[in-house]
Structure formats: structure tokens, C-alpha cells
Amino acid sequence: GMAGSPAMAAPGDLDPSFGDVGRQSSLHRSNFSEWSVEVQADDAVLLGGGGEYCYWGCYEDYFVGRLLPNGTPDASFAAAALKETWVYDTALQPDGKLIGVGYAGSRLQVFRLRPDGSLDPDFGVGGLVQVTDGSSAAGHSVIVDPDGRIVVAGSRYSGGTVALLRVRLQSNGALDATFGVGGTVVPA
């Protein structure tokens, strides 16, 4: 192109105006994985993930981070106080709040962040909902349906058997008692 004109990329090419020549490797340590990506209305990118690092012992950690439209980390995005939570999937609500699912310990965890990245105190208990029936469970996928309910697909491990687990929450984080048994469905 001409000097001073913006760089143009063909469909499928890396965007040279984003991050390091179209790449942004990670917001955190190199042995962490980003598993979910959401693009906000302002073209900023939300990344969710987790990982394990070992240095004087092993630790699990989570993250939800935000990249500005140019690919640089957004230092103003709050780091929500989640402990040992792996974030497997996220979904944006129409109001810009972010629903995330994964697991914390052995429980399926759902959380909601406000647009600034802080936990939403109007959702569940302090922004968190943990779903457990004594089995180990994790949330792997989440959508927000047209009525604002939160639908989670995950897995449940009990007695040596892994099963599909489906959970539906009301928009405030309460289990939807009209769905399955107390808000959960585990196929027989």
C-alpha cells in the first residue's frame, strides 16, 4: 500500500494492528491456557482460562482478562477474587456482564462479572454459584437464553462414572426449579 495508509490483511491473515503482529500469547504465565474468548461491543477481547504451575509446590489458578482492541492487556480491568477456579467457557449478557463456568475444587462453578471485571454481588452469593450434589462436577459450556436464564453443560463424576450434567439458573443465579430436578439434569 501507499506510505501512511493502514495495513490491510486478507481474510484469514493475522491482523498486524492487534498485539504483537496479530498475536497476543497470554495475559498470564506461559503455562496457562485461555479456553474462552468473547468480543465486547467496543471490540475489546475477554479471555478466560486457567492452569497449574509448580514452584515450591503446585497451585491451580484462574483468570479472566481483557485485551484492548489493539491487543494490549487492559490494566484497568479488575481481577475478580476467584480461588482455584478454572474458567472453561464464558458468555456475554446483553447488558455487558460476563457469565463464566468452570470448576472450583470439585464443584461446578458459575460466576458473573460486571463490565469492569469485578464479581457481581447481585448474582448468587457475592457473584458466585457452586452446584454440587456430593459428586465432582465441572461446567464446560454456557449460554444465556433469550429469557435471560443461564444454561450450563458440564460433566459429573460419581462412583467411577462420568455423565453429562445440565444446569439451568435464573438470571440472579438461583437454580431454576422448573428445569429437571432442582435445576439440574443428569441422564440415566
**CA dist 143 → 28, 41, 89, 109, 168 (Å):** 26, 18, 9, 14, 10
Tens-of-pLDDT digits for all 188 residues of the chain?
Answer: 444 444 555 665 555 554 443 344 444 444 445 566 777 677 777 776 655 544 444 444 556 677 778 878 877 776 665 666 778 888 889 898 989 888 887 889 999 988 888 899 999 999 999 987 778 898 999 999 999 999 999 998 888 888 899 999 999 999 999 999 999 887 76
Contact 82, 62 (CB under 8 A): yes
Confidence at residue 50, expressed as pLDDT on a 0 to 100 scale: 57
SS (H, E, C) 125-149: ECCEEEECCCCEEEEEEEEECCCCC
**CA–CA separation, 84 vs 49, rounded Å?**
11
H runs (alpha helix) in the chain: none
Rg (CA), the chain: 18
Cell of 56: 515450591
- The confidence score (pLDDT) of residue 121 equals 95
